[in-house]
Amino acid sequence: RRTRVFLVERQVIAAAFPEDVIRCVRQQLAPLEAAIEDGRRSGAFPAAEPTRDALAIHHLCSGLMTDKLLGTGTLGRDDAVALATRFALATLRSDA
């Protein structure tokens, strides 16, 4: 609830402070990119593209959180986490 204002005003904040928003998103993506790169190197995620895949996963999770914060989503927290995890892992494990 405390962060809802950032969600609702995201476009305004991004327009006024683009560098800060980009920096915050980069900080969120960095550990995910590193984990995906580790998986790519180990062979668990054979065709992964760490930078692009991390961004896609970030957007998926952001959308699910947005739905929850706005009250428009039908998934509870556990179901949303399970969906995002299943979708991300299936994609990362694919060799396509």
Q: What is the per-residue pLDDT for 80?
A: 94
Q: What is the per-residue pLDDT for 11?
A: 80
Q: Is 47 left (phi over 0), alpha (psi -120 to 50) or beta?
A: alpha
**Rounded Cα distance, 21 and 43, in Å:** 33
pTM: 0.84
- pLDDT tens string 31-90: 999 999 999 999 999 999 999 999 999 999 999 988 888 888 899 999 999 999 999 999
**pLDDT (mean) for 7-14:** 78
